[in-house]
Amino acid sequence: MNTMLKKCLNCGKPFSTNKKRNAYCCRKCFDEYYAKKKSDHKFPIIICPSCGKRTQLDFFPTRERVHIENWVCPHCGKTRDK
């Protein structure tokens, strides 16, 4: 088998491996990378049609239709429909 020198996606340290698919130097780096990736998932930003200000939502509008239908702008107090 050919040994390859690769760079860890998480910590950046060089490591040697026999497999092309290995991207992490150890299990700890693998777990840390995917924990960071999960927590990086952000909620969308909505722009109020009335005042034009941007607000970061605390829910996903595609998954929670009731919340987006009843959403009230924290800046001007108007709903999306009015």
Q: Give 44-55 pLDDT, tens digit per residue.
A: 888 888 899 998
Residue 38 pLDDT level (bands cut at 50, 70, 90): low
pLDDT at 82 over 70: no
Please state, in angstroms and rounded to a whole number, the distance separating the CA atoms of residues 82 and 71.
11
Percent share of the chain, pLDDT over 90: 44
| Average pLDDT of the residues in 22-31 | 94
Q: How many CB atoms sit inside 10 A of residue 33's CB? A: 16
> By the 8 A CB rule, do 34 and 43 touch?
no
Burial of 74 (0-12, 13-18, 19+ CB in 10 A): exposed
Q: Where are the domains of the chain?
A: 4-39, 42-82
d(CA 24, CA 11): 8
Asked if pLDDT for residue 24 goes beyond 70, the answer is yes
